Structure 1
Amino acid sequence: MIRAAIRTLSPSAWATVALCALLLIIIALCAVDHRARQSERQRAAEAAQAASSASAGETLARDAIGQSEASASREAAITDQTGRNRDAILSAPDAGNTAGDAGRTGLERLCQRAAYRDDPACR
C-alpha cells in the first residue's frame, strides 16, 4: 500500500519531499549551531567572571597587606611612645612619689596621647 503510493508520486511531489527533507536538515543544523554558539558565550562569560574574581581577589589581598602594614606601623609607634613615657616618668625626680614631679610627668605624657588630649586634667 505505501509502496504503491510511493511509486505513484509525480516528479513535483518528489521535489516537494526532497525540499521538505532539505528544510528539516537545515533546521537541525541551525539548532545545533545555535547551541554551540550559546555554549561558547556561556564559556566566555564564565572566563570573564573568573578573571574579574581573580582581579578582585588581588585587590583584596593588596588592601589586606596595606592594612596589616599600617597596623604594624601604628603598633610600633604606640610601643615607642609608651617606652619614652615610661623612661620619662622613671627618670623624673622623686619617681616613687606620684604627687611630685613623676606624677606631673606621667600626666604630661598621658596627655600627649590622642585619647586624653581633650581631658580636663590635660588642660
Structure 2
Amino acid sequence: MSFLRTLSLTGWLAVAVLTLALILLTMCAVDSRQKAADRLRQADAGKTLAEGRTAAAQDASAIRDRADAREQQIDQSTQETTDAIRNAPDDAAAGDHGLRSLCKLYPDRDPRCRMLEARPGRVG
C-alpha cells in the first residue's frame, strides 16, 4: 500500500477519472441490456397480441359459418315445409307437415315433438 502514498495529485486525478469512466461504462452497459430486455418483452407482447387477434378472428369466422349454415338449414326447411303444406291433401296433413318442421328445427319447442319422435317411421 505504499504506492498509494507515492501518487501525486495528478496520479490521484487519473485514478479518479479512470474510476469515473469505468462507472459510466458499466452504467451504459446495464442500460443497454435493460433496453434490449424491454424491446424483447415488447416484441413478445406484440406477438401474443397478434396471436390472440388471430384466434379471435378464427373464432368469429367459425361462429359466422355456423350461423350461416343454420340460417341456410332454416331457409331450406321453411321452403320444404311451405311446399309440403301447399301440396297437402287436407288441413290435417298440412298441420302435420308444419309440426314436423317445427320439431325438426326446435325439438323442445312443443310437447307434441316427443310424440313424433316416438312414432315408428318418423321423419326427422
**Is the pair's TM-score, using the shorter chain for normalization, greater than 0.5?**
yes
Identity, % of aligned positions: 30
1:14-34, CA deviations, whole angstroms, 9 ceiling, x for partnerless residues? 333322221111011111221
Alignment of 1:25-40 (within 5 A): 25-40=21-36
Indicate the residue corresponding to 1:109 in structure 2: 101
How many residues of Structure 1 are paired with residues of Structure 2 in the alignment? 109
For structure 2, list consecutive stretches of 5 or more residues without a partner in the other structure.
Answer: 116-124
CA RMSD of aligned residues (A): 2.1
Give TM-score scaled by structure 2 length: 0.74
Alignment of 1:1-123 (within 5 A): 11-14=6-9, 15-94=11-90, 97=91, 100-116=92-108, 119-122=110-113, 123=115
Which one scores higher on RCO, CA 8 angstroms, separation ≥ 6? 2
For structure 1, list consecutive stretches of 5 or more residues without a partner in the other structure.
Answer: 1-9
Larger radius of gyration: 1
Given that 2:74 and 2:105 are in contact with CA atoms closer than 8 Å, whether structure 1 keeps it comes out as: no
Indicate the residue corresponding to 2:119 in structure 1: none
How far off its partner does 1:45 sit?
1.1
1:28-62, CA deviations, whole angstroms, 9 ceiling, x for partnerless residues? 11112211211111111111111221122112112
